[in-house]
Amino acid sequence: MSPRLRLFFYLLMGLALAFGFLHLFVDLGPYDPERLHIFLFNLCAGGTLLLYFTENQDTLSKRAVLFLALSLFYALLAFFNQYLPAITVSLILAALVESCRIETFSFFPWEFFSRRESVSRKFHQAALLCLSLALIISAGVLTNNQYLRLVTFPKLELNVFFLGFSFPLSLITLSLIFFFFHDLKTISIRGVKEIIFWTINLGVILFFLFILAEQPTSQMVVTTLLFLAVIGTAILYFRFGKDTQQKNFLTSGIGFLLTTAVTGIAYILLEFLSGHSPDRYHWLMRLHAFVSLYGWNLSGLAVICRYNDFPIRLNTPGVILFHWITVLVLAPAGVFFRVAAVIALPCFMLLLYLMLFSRAAGSADNNGRNGSRSARV
């Protein structure tokens, strides 16, 4: 990825975090900066990088540029509560993602059921399919909530649903993790990887449905299964992952993912307690969201942005520690305290700068060491 393109995503992701703190400094009335906070990172930056990674080109294709422009427009429409044009734009974005998925894989995802297809490629296609479905369903949710009102669920409100755009980023990060495995052909290991793939994908779908139905017991069961699947992924990756610089970032990402599972389980457990109210434990949900978006998902996006540059000249353990402090402490505190927000934003920008602009270790082609993207897609 060119430095100019990295600069664009650097500014876009930094702006996304800034909108997460904006409510402390400016009263925007009926306009919710939380939507821009979520959209700019998950859909605009994350969705565009997913297309960029899939198309395997040196720069953004015309399709990716159109997706980026429309996703920014979509974010603004959602922010200004302009729902009718947002529905149209959402469907166009879904068509762009599907055209990329079908071109790279197939119209129907037969590969999910093939033993010959690698789990990495399965997660990759699942990420694209999840993104297009999220866009289509979001159009349906907007249509229902604003115009038809055929279905009424208290949890079926826009800000909750829009968090679903983080799922495609989770899946593409898992695709990267499974790509950096040693070539293991043993039946038992392949079977475990397949179980993890189906557990995570079906689990996420069921979990979201149980959220809408407000079934905390079922949520707990599914969350526990997802937690076990992540632990299984961590064990396999620690033992069989290729010893590369990317492994350090992705292992840290798995740590963030485990943290999101723990915070999610804790929040569900609190729903069983008498006197529970969302406002009382709002801090826990903010911690959960920041660790998910700017911890786990950012770990994968950083690897995508620098994919062909590794190894890079970077104090990897130090940057990873700085990443954890920023995401686990400073950023969540910044939602509630101005001083923390003022500290968290420049720390995050410095972290992003180190990840995106540290120089490559050498000018030699690194694809031979790390594996080319074309081998995956």
* Residue type at position 13: M
The two tokens of residue 300 are 């994968």
> What's the chain's length in residues?
377
Query: Helix and strand tally (H, E) in the chain?
Result: 17, 0
Q: How far apart are the first and last CA of the chain?
A: 17
Task: Please answer whether residues 311 and 245 qualify as being in contact, where contact means their C-beta atoms are separated by less than 8 angstroms.
Answer: yes
Task: Please answer whether residues 224 and 273 qualify as being in contact, where contact means their C-beta atoms are separated by less than 8 angstroms.
Answer: no
pLDDT digits (tens, 9 = 90+) for 170-192: 999 999 999 988 776 676 788 89
What is the structure's pLDDT at 159? 61
pLDDT digits (tens, 9 = 90+) for 259-313: 998 988 888 887 766 555 666 777 888 888 899 989 999 999 999 998 888 788 8
* Residue type at position 375: A
Question: For residue 183, which phi and psi values (nearest 5 degrees)?
Answer: -70, 100
Task: Return the C-alpha torsion angle 124, 125, 126, 131, nearest 10.
Answer: 100
What is the structure's pLDDT at 207? 85
Tell me the Ramachandran region of residue 243: left when phi exceeds 0, alpha when psi lies from -120 to 50, beta otherwise: beta
The two tokens of residue 80 are 């200004």
What is the structure's pLDDT at 158? 63
For residue 363, pLDDT beyond 60: no
- For the chain, the average pLDDT equals 87
What is the structure's pLDDT at 321? 94
The two tokens of residue 371 are 């594996």
Determine what percent of the chain is predicted with pLDDT higher than 90: 54
Task: Please answer whether residues 330 and 340 qualify as being in contact, where contact means their C-beta atoms are separated by less than 8 angstroms.
Answer: yes
Burial of 124 (0-12, 13-18, 19+ CB in 10 A): buried
Dihedral of alpha carbons 54, 60, 65, 71, sign: positive
What is the structure's pLDDT at 365? 41
Mean pLDDT of all residues in 315-329 = 91
Confidence of residue 329 (pLDDT cuts 50, 70, 90): very high
Query: What is the Cα–Cα distance from 292 to 170, expressed in whole angstroms?
Result: 9
Ordered by start, the domain boundaries in the chain are: 31-172
Please give the distance of CA 102 from its chain centroid, rounded to a whole number.
21
